[in-house]
Amino acid sequence: MNRRRFSRGLALLALTPSLPAFAQTAPPLRTNAGRLRKRLEDLSVFGRPAGGTFADGVSRTGFSDADVEAHAWLQREMRALGLEPKVDAAGNVSAVRPGTVPGLAPILFGSHIDSVRGGGNFDGDVGSMSSLEVMATLIEKKVATRHPLEYVVWAAEESNFGSGLHGSRMAAGLIEEGEFERVQNGVTKREAMKRLGGDASRIAEARRARGSFHAYLELHIEQGGKLDRAGVPIGVVEGIVTIDDYDVHVRGFANHAGTTPMAERRDALVAASQIVQAVQQIANGEAGAQVGTVGQMTVRPNAPNVVPGDVEMTVEFRDLDGAKVARLGAALKERCAQIAKASNTEVEVVFTSRHEGARATPSIQAAIEKAAASLSLNSMRLPSGAGHDAQAIATLGPMGMIFVPSVAGISHSPRELSRWNEIAQGADVLMATILELDASAPWTPGR
Amino acid sequence: MNRRRFSRGLALLALTPSLPAFAQTAPPLRTNAGRLRKRLEDLSVFGRPAGGTFADGVSRTGFSDADVEAHAWLQREMRALGLEPKVDAAGNVSAVRPGTVPGLAPILFGSHIDSVRGGGNFDGDVGSMSSLEVMATLIEKKVATRHPLEYVVWAAEESNFGSGLHGSRMAAGLIEEGEFERVQNGVTKREAMKRLGGDASRIAEARRARGSFHAYLELHIEQGGKLDRAGVPIGVVEGIVTIDDYDVHVRGFANHAGTTPMAERRDALVAASQIVQAVQQIANGEAGAQVGTVGQMTVRPNAPNVVPGDVEMTVEFRDLDGAKVARLGAALKERCAQIAKASNTEVEVVFTSRHEGARATPSIQAAIEKAAASLSLNSMRLPSGAGHDAQAIATLGPMGMIFVPSVAGISHSPRELSRWNEIAQGADVLMATILELDASAPWTPGR
C-alpha cells in the first residue's frame, strides 16, 4: 500500500510536467542514457559482419541464427529487470509490469530487433532498447502506473518470406493467404517461425483483441532526413503511409542493335525509361508529401548489342491519404497506355498489393507533444513514409509513434546513424508520454 | 589441257552474262537449291534444342560440343566433294581448289557456322553452306577458274570469351591483349580453342598476309529488315559499320523509398532513364542510318522499396562513318554531364572499345551488282549494321559482301528466317560474282 501511494505521487509528478513551479524545483524523470547505449551496443553483436565493428552494421534477418541469439539475449535482459518474458505463437516477446488500478488495459510499447540484410544498428533496435530502458527506469525509480505496462518486441518486422510486420500482423489477425507455406532458402515460414518459439498451428493464440490495450506507443528512428535537416529532436508521427505496389511489364521486341533501324525498333527499355520519367512527373504533379519510386528493373536479354525486348519494373506510390495513392496509380496506368501506343510496345500494369497505412490517434500525438515540451524538446509532426508494426497494431486500438532523427536520413544501411543524445531524448519522451497517457481515460473500441 | 580450255569457256559464259544474245540461248549457271537446303538442314541438328525441330533454332556457340561436331561434319562434306580441309592454328577450316593460271592469288569466300545461344539456322550457316554449294556446283559442272578458289569457315565468329570474329581476327593478326587467357565457364580460351584444332602457341601460323588473296567474298543474311521490306532479294553491302561502345555508370544514393522525399532523392535510375532518352535523341538527331542503343542496364540495390543508388548501363553507337560515330559519343558525354548536374548524381562515361568497320571494295560492289543483274535479280546497296568476319579480312585485301533478306529483320533468335528461294538466289549471285572477279585484274596491296 505504501509503495502504491508513493508510486502514484511520482506518477503525478510526471503527469504534470507543465506545472512551471514544479518543473523548476524537480527535474523531469529521465532514462539512463549510458545504460541504453550499452544495451544497443550489446545487441549489435548479433549479426555483426565477421571482424566488423558497431559501425559495420548488422544482418539480423527475422528467424536467422543472429535473430534467435538476439531474442535469447533480450529475454535474459528482461529477466534481469525482474520481468517475465512470454513468447507467443508468432514469436513475439512481451512482459507485463502490473498497474495499480485493477481492470485497466495495459499501455503497450516496443518495437522490433530484426534487421534487413546489411542494415544498421538503429532501425527497430532504438525503439526496442529505449522501451526496455523505460521499463528499467520505472522499476529502478519505483514509479508505479495506474495501467499495466506491457513491453513487446515484435518478431520479424522486416520483409521476410514475402511480407513484413510478421509479429504485429499476427497479433492483429492480419494473416496473408498461404503465408506459412512460403519458402525462403529452402525452408517454409511455418518451420522458420519455430526458431523464435512461434507455432503456426496455434497462431490464433497470438491474436490480441480490439480494445485490449489502453494505447500502443512505438519509438523509432525516422529513416528519413526531415528531423535532422530541421534540427528538431522529436518527431510526432501523424500516421503511416499507405503503399500501393505495381508490377509493370513492358514487352517490345528484342533485335540486333546493329541491323535494326531506329524507326523500326520496339525497344522495351526506351519505353520503360519513359515510364520512370512518368512516375516522377506523377509524384511531383501535385502538392503534398507523396512519393513514387521505380526501385527494381530487369532488362532482357540485357546484352550491349541487342535492342531490349522485355523490361519488368516495380512502381510504388506512398502517401498518408489512401485515396491519393489510388489516384496516382490510375495516372500511372493512363500514362503507360500512352507510352505503349507511342513506342509500339505492350505495357501491362498489374496492381500487386496495398499496404494500408494508419493514422496516429490525435490524442496520443498531443500527449507526445506535451511530453516533449515537458522535457524542453522541440517537436514536429510528420508522416512516416516507412511501414511499422504500429500500423498493424493500430487496427486494434489507439496508436502513436515517436521519431528520433536519422543522420542524413540514411537507413537500411550500415551507415544508418542516430546520435546517442537524441536517442536518450527519444527514450525520455517515450517515458513521459507513457506517464501522460497513464493519466488519461480508457479507450473505448469504436471511438 | 582440254579440261582447262573447256572450263575457261564456261567461265567466260558466266563472265559475260549481260550479252543478251548469249543469255537467251544459254541460261546462267545456277547452284543446286535442293542440295543447299539439305546441307542447311543437316547442319541444323548440331546444337538443336532437345526434342526440337529446325524451327526451334540452334545453340552452337563457338568451341562448344555442338560446334565441334558441326566442324567434323563440315570436313566430311568437304572431303565428299574432293576438297582437302585444312585446320589452321585458330581452328579455321579451309580448302583450296586450284586455278588454271599459275601464280594468281586465290578468291577467298565463306562465312561461319557457330551461332549465338538461342540463335537461328541462317546467321553464318547460309553463307557457309552457299559457299560450299558454289564449290560443289563448279566441281560438278567442271567450271575451272583462273584463280584458285579457297573456301573458308571462320571459327567462333559470334561473341565468345569477350569478343567476336575469333578466326578472322586471328587470320588478320588482330589479337586482343591477353585474349587467350580469358576464362568462360571455367575454361580459358587457350584450352577451348583446342577443341576445334586450334593452338594458341602457334597462332601466328593462322595469320594471312596482306595481298594473299584476290578478293574475299562473304554471303550472309541481312539480319535487318531493309531487303525484306523493300522486296529486293540481293543486298550489296557498302561496308560494315564502325561500333563505339561506352560503359555509363550513374552513382546516386540508395535510400528508403518511403522516407526520402522526392526533392531529396539522388535516384540513379531516374538519371539513367534520362540517358536512355538522350541516346535516342542523339541517334535520331541527324539524317542518316546511324543507331544508338542502350542494351544492358543493371540497377542496384534493385529492390521495390529502395531508391536506386547505382546504375550501370552500356551505350553503343554504329555508323559506316567512323567520324560520325565519334561525334555521337561526344554528344553522349555532353548530355550525361548535363543530366548528372540536374539530377545531383555522378555520371561516368567510359569509352570501352571501337570496332573498326570496313568499306566494301567498290569494284567488288560493282561485280556483285553485275552478277545479280545477270541473274535478273534486283539488288540494292546498304550498310551492314552487324559485324562480320569480312571486316577483319578487309584489313588484308579487297572485300565484298552479299546479303539475302531476313524475314521481318529478325536475327539472333530461333525466329530468324530466310526464304529458301532467296537463299538459292544468293548462292547463285555469289557464284556469278566469283566468276566475274575471276576475270578481273589482281589486286595490289596499297591500292
Question: Residue A297: which pLDDT band, with cuts at 50, 70 and 90?
Answer: very high
Percentage, residues of chain B above pLDDT 70? 93
**Per mean pLDDT, which range of A257-261, B10-14, B54-58 is the poorest?**
B10-14
Closest-CA distance of chain B to residue A142, Å: 38
Asked if B158 has any chain A CB less than 8 Å from its own CB, the reply is: no
The CATH class that applies to domain B2-238+359-438 reads: alpha beta
Joined together, the cell numbers standing for residue B314 give 552500356
Give the nearest partner residue to A386 out of B256, B283, B291, using CB atoms: B256
Pick from A183, A306, A182, A296: which is nearest to A253 by CA?
A: A306
Asked if residues A435 and A144 have their Cβ atoms less than 8 Å apart, the reply is: no
Chain A residues in contact with B277 (beta carbon < 8 A): 270, 273-274, 277
Handedness of CA B138, B142, B144, B149 (dihedral sign): positive
Query: Is the pLDDT higher at A163 or at B434?
Result: B434
Percentage of residues of chain B with pLDDT beyond 90:
85
Reported confidence tier of residue B355, pLDDT bands at 50, 70, 90: confident
Note the Cα B323 to chain centre separation in Å: 22
Q: Tell me which of A246, A247, A293, A335 to substitute to probe the interface with B (most B C-beta atoms closer than 10 Å).
A: A293
β-partners of residue B96 are B150
pLDDT beyond 80 at A382: yes
* CA-to-CA dists, residue A95 to A87, A136, B140, angstroms: 9, 12, 96
pLDDT bracket for residue A443 (50, 70, 90): low
pLDDT of the residue at B67: 98
DSSP characters over B300-315 = ES--TTEE--EEEEEE
Q: What is the pLDDT of residues A257-283, one digit of tens each?
A: 998 999 999 999 999 999 999 999 999
Q: Which residue has the higher pLDDT, B86 or A9?
A: B86
Name the residue among A406, A385, A240 with its Cα closest to residue B262: A385
> Do residues A243 and A348 lie in contact, with contact meaning Cβ atoms separated by under 8 Å?
no
Question: Stretch B298-317: mean pLDDT, rounded?
Answer: 94
Amino acid at B156: A
- Using one digit for the tens of pLDDT, what is the confidence trace for A390-422? 999 999 999 999 999 999 999 888 999 999 999
The pLDDT score that the predictor gives to residue A332 is: 98
Give the pLDDT mean for B280-307.
95
pLDDT value of residue A162: 82
CA distance B329 to A290: 38
Contacting residues of B for A261, CB less than 8 Å apart: 224, 226, 289, 291
Mean pLDDT computed over B284-308: 94
- Give the model's confidence band at A291: pLDDT under 50 very low, under 70 low, under 90 confident, else very high: very high
| Chain B interface includes A293 (CB < 8 A) | yes
pLDDT tops 60 at residue B24: no
For chain A, say whether B289 makes contact (Cβ under 8 Å).
yes
ipTM of the complex: 0.80
Q: Is A303 on the interface with B (CB under 8 A)?
A: yes
Q: What is the pLDDT of residues B74-120, one digit of tens each?
A: 999 999 999 999 999 999 999 999 999 999 999 999 999 999 989 99
Structure-block grid coordinates of residue B143 = 567450271
What do you get for the CA distance between the two ends of chain B, in Å?
Answer: 34
Mean pLDDT (chain A) is 92
Q: How confident is the model at residue A447 (pLDDT cuts 50, 70, 90)?
A: very low
Give backbone dihedrals phi and psi of A365, rounded to 5 degrees, phi first: -55, -45
Indicate which of A237, A259, A279 best probes the interface with B, i.e. most B CBs within 10 Å of its own CB: A259
Q: Residue A295: its chain B contacts at CB < 8 A?
A: 257, 269, 302-308
What's the pLDDT score for residue A331?
A: 98
- Asked if CATH classification 3.20.20.140 holds for the domain at A242-355, the reply, yes or no, is no
Cα dihedral across residues B129, B133, B134, B135: positive or negative: positive
- Average pLDDT of the residues of chain B: 92
CB atoms within 10 A of CB A165: 26
Taking residues A26-33, report their average pLDDT. 90
Q: Binning pLDDT at 50, 70 and 90, where does residue B442 land? A: low
More confidently predicted of A372 and B441 = A372
CB contact (8 A) between residue A386 and residue B222: no
Mean pLDDT of B373-379: 97
Look at the domain A2-240+358-438 and name its fold. Aminopeptidase (3.40.630)
Any A CB within 8 A of B33 CB:
no
Among A257, A270, A276, the residue with its CB nearest the CB of B291 is A257
What pLDDT is recorded for position B11? 42
Q: Do A255 and B409 touch (CB under 8 A)?
A: yes
Q: How confident is the model at residue B287 (pLDDT cuts 50, 70, 90)?
A: very high
Question: Residue B21 in contact with residue B154, Cβ under 8 Å?
Answer: no
**What is residue B89's predicted lDDT score, i.e. its pLDDT?**
98
pLDDT score at B159 = 83
- E strand or H helix that includes residue B400: strand B399-404
Q: Do A386 and B302 touch (CB under 8 A)?
A: no
The confidence band for A27, taking pLDDT boundaries of 50, 70 and 90, is confident
Nearest of B180, B162, B182 to residue B170 by alpha carbon: B180
Q: Looking at residues A101-110, what average pLDDT do you find?
A: 96
**Interface contact flag, A276 B269, Cβ < 8 Å:** yes
CB under 8 Å to A27, separation ≥6 — which residues?
none
Classified as helix, coil or strand, A9 is helix
Contact A163, A251 (CB under 8 A): no
Which CA distances in Å does B366 have to A200, B27, B380, B391, B436? 79, 22, 11, 18, 10
Mean pLDDT (whole number) for A346-354: 94
What residue spans define the domains of chain A?
2-240+358-438, 242-355
Q: What is the pLDDT of residue B443?
A: 55
Query: How far is it, in rounded angstroms, from Cα A346 to Cα A310?
Result: 10
Segment B200-226 mean pLDDT: 96
Between B14 and A162, the higher pLDDT residue: A162
CB–CB of A409 and B274 under 8 A? no
Q: How far is B375 from chain A (nearest CA, A)?
A: 27
What stretches of B157-239 show up as alpha helix (H) in DSSP? 166-172, 189-193, 226-230
Dist. CA B181–CA B328, nearest whole Å: 33
Residue A221 has pLDDT above 70, yes or no: yes
* Coil vs helix vs strand at A196: helix
pTM of the model: 0.79
Give the model confidence (pLDDT) of B378-432 as tens digits: 999 999 999 999 999 999 999 999 999 999 999 888 999 999 999 999 999 999 9
Residue A32 has pLDDT above 70, yes or no: yes
Whether the predicted pLDDT of A18 surpasses 50: no
| Residues whose CB falls within 8 Å of the CB of residue B283, separated by 6 or more in sequence, listed in order | A262, B290, B291, B292, B317, B328
Report the residue of chain B nearest A258, measured CA to CA.
B385
- Cross-chain CB nearest to B270 (options A256, A280, A296): A280
Which stretch of DSSP H or E encloses residue A350? strand A346-355
User: What is the structure's pLDDT at B26?
Assistant: 64
CA distance A98 to A139: 11
Residue A440: pLDDT band by 50, 70, 90 thresholds?
confident
pLDDT at A10 over 50: no
